[in-house]
């Protein structure tokens, strides 16, 4: 199953109350693929939410249990609204029978942000 691609959401420098959710969830190795499918089913509706700026769940190539999570929201209220949606209730119901064995997810409040140049560009300017 291929993940939907998000609409272009590139934005200039941001400040304010944006929220980032980042971390990992470990599943029993035999359940990780199904867990990823559950996330993928919720990805399209999540990306369509007006407060969603990014939503990505990816398998760790070096750990057969781990999925990495990255979400970016316009505000804490947008994230709270997301957590109350029908597609997240469906995700929770469909993944309830899977064995989750660990989790390290964190919510970060963004104070400021700006585009980051690549290390190659930064290095070239120093020369």
Give the pLDDT mean for 85-114.
95
Q: Which residues pair with 66 in a beta bridge?
A: 26
**What pLDDT sits at residue 17?**
87
Alpha-helix runs per DSSP H in 1-127 = 32-47, 76-83, 86-95, 119-126
Residue 34 pLDDT > 60, yes or no? yes
Binned at pLDDT 50, 70 and 90, residue 113 comes out as confident
The closest alpha carbon to 99, from 41, 46, 33, belongs to 33
E-strand ranges in 5-81 read: 14-15, 19-27, 52-59, 66-73
Output the average pLDDT for the chain. Answer: 86
């Amino acid at each position: 199953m291929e993940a939907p691609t998000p609409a272009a959401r590139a934005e200039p420098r941001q400040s304010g109350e944006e929220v980032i959710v980042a971390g990992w969830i470990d599943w029993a190795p035999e359940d990780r693929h199904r867990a990823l499918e559950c996330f993928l089913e919720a990805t399209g509706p999540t990306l369509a939410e007006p407060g969603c700026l990014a939503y990505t769940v990816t398998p760790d190539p070096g750990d057969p249990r781990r999925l990495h999570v990255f979400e970016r929201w316009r505000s804490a209220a947008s994230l709270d609204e997301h957590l109350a949606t029908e597609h997240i209730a469906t995700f929770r119901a469909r993944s309830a029978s899977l064995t989750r064995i660990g989790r390290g997810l964190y919510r970060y409040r963004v104070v400021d942000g700006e585009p980051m140049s690549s290390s190659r560009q930064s290095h070239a300017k120093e020369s």
